[in-house]
Amino acid sequence: MNRLDFLIDYLIKEDPQYSEMEIPTTEQGKRDLFRALRNVREPKPVSEEFLRLQDEELQAQLQEKGIVELVDIMDVGRDAPWHVSTGKQLLLWQGDITRLRVDAIVNAANAQMLGCFHPLHGCIDNAIHSAAGVQLREECHRLMLQQGHLEPTGTAKITKAYNLPCKHVIHTVGPIVPTGIPTPMQKEQLASCYRSIMQLADENHLESIAFCCISTGEFRFPNRLAAEIAVKTVKNYLTAHPDCSVRQVVFNVFKDEDKRIYEGI
């Protein structure tokens, strides 16, 4: 039995409802099923053998995707007009945030803080938890049990990153804007996300952080306004806290539309 077959078999045996599931024959099909089974899995302990083989598989997938070093982003953004002060840089990078080797990446989480449970969903919450491994959901679960209530909008929590190339993940819950027209309170909540993340990064002596586009997409916060709030809030924080440990802030975008918006700010 190869590595993926063992991992899939382990997850199926955990839950009898999947016992009759047809197993794909291709490697990509098996990888998708392995991800989907982890996506829907409740947080609970696993065996050391499972963790060892899961970590081997996720590290292999990471090497295939390729790790993006901070120095590569800094070279791309060398001429960007976003320098806040001496030694501080705001940078823009388009691509998969799970490839970035920075001190922390930001996850746009939901109030449960347990990751996305929709199999193979395209949201960043799903992507980050899938690339990190089952340990991330388990750690988030422990944090939420200690807290005893859902995560408020505009706050942040920090965890390990496990199989991601970054050192930490900072999770935040952004405002949901069903109408697509944010209220003044929702604008302030989004700004609070960025302030909370910067403060948490500073408290943990992090030097580099990569933000995703918090609350855009399915949360329906307008992309341009969200980007303006993001850049303004981070700039204001760095100006108000000249001794902040964070030296490089990467605004990570995935869509061409968001890249054009950030380039125009």
- Asked whether residue 201 carries a pLDDT value surpassing 50, the answer given is yes
pLDDT for 109-130, tens place per residue?
Answer: 999 999 999 999 999 999 999 9
Domains, the chain? 3-64 (no CATH), 67-263 (3.40.220.10)
- Asked whether residue 1 carries a pLDDT value surpassing 80, the answer given is no
- pLDDT bucket at 78, cuts 50 / 70 / 90: very low
Contact 197, 170 (CB under 8 A): yes
- Asked whether residue 75 carries a pLDDT value surpassing 70, the answer given is no
Contact 58, 4 (CB under 8 A): no
- Asked whether residue 81 carries a pLDDT value surpassing 60, the answer given is no
Instruction: Write out the two tokens for 184.
Output: 């003044």
Count of C-beta atoms within a 10 Å radius of residue 57: 19
Beta bridge partners of 251: 92, 211
- Asked whether residue 107 carries a pLDDT value surpassing 50, the answer given is yes
Mean pLDDT of all residues belonging to the chain: 94
Q: What is the pLDDT of residue 262?
A: 94
Instruction: Write out the two tokens for 65.
Output: 């995707």
What SS3 class is residue 234? helix
- Asked whether residue 221 carries a pLDDT value surpassing 90, the answer given is yes
- pLDDT bucket at 234, cuts 50 / 70 / 90: very high
- Asked whether residue 96 carries a pLDDT value surpassing 60, the answer given is yes
Q: What is the pLDDT of residue 194?
A: 98
What's the whole-number mean pLDDT along residues 138-147? Answer: 98
Which residue in 7, 63, 77 sits closest to 35, CA to CA?
7
Burial 156-186 (b: 16+ CB within 10 A, else e): bbbbebbbbbbbbbbbbbbbbbeeeebeeeb
d(CA 116, CA 113): 9
What string of H, E and C letters represents the secondary structure of 179-200?
CCCCCHHHHHHHHHHHHHHHHH
- pLDDT bucket at 265, cuts 50 / 70 / 90: confident
- Asked whether residue 251 carries a pLDDT value surpassing 90, the answer given is yes
Q: What is the pLDDT of residue 171?
A: 98
Evaluate if pTM is beyond 0.75.
yes
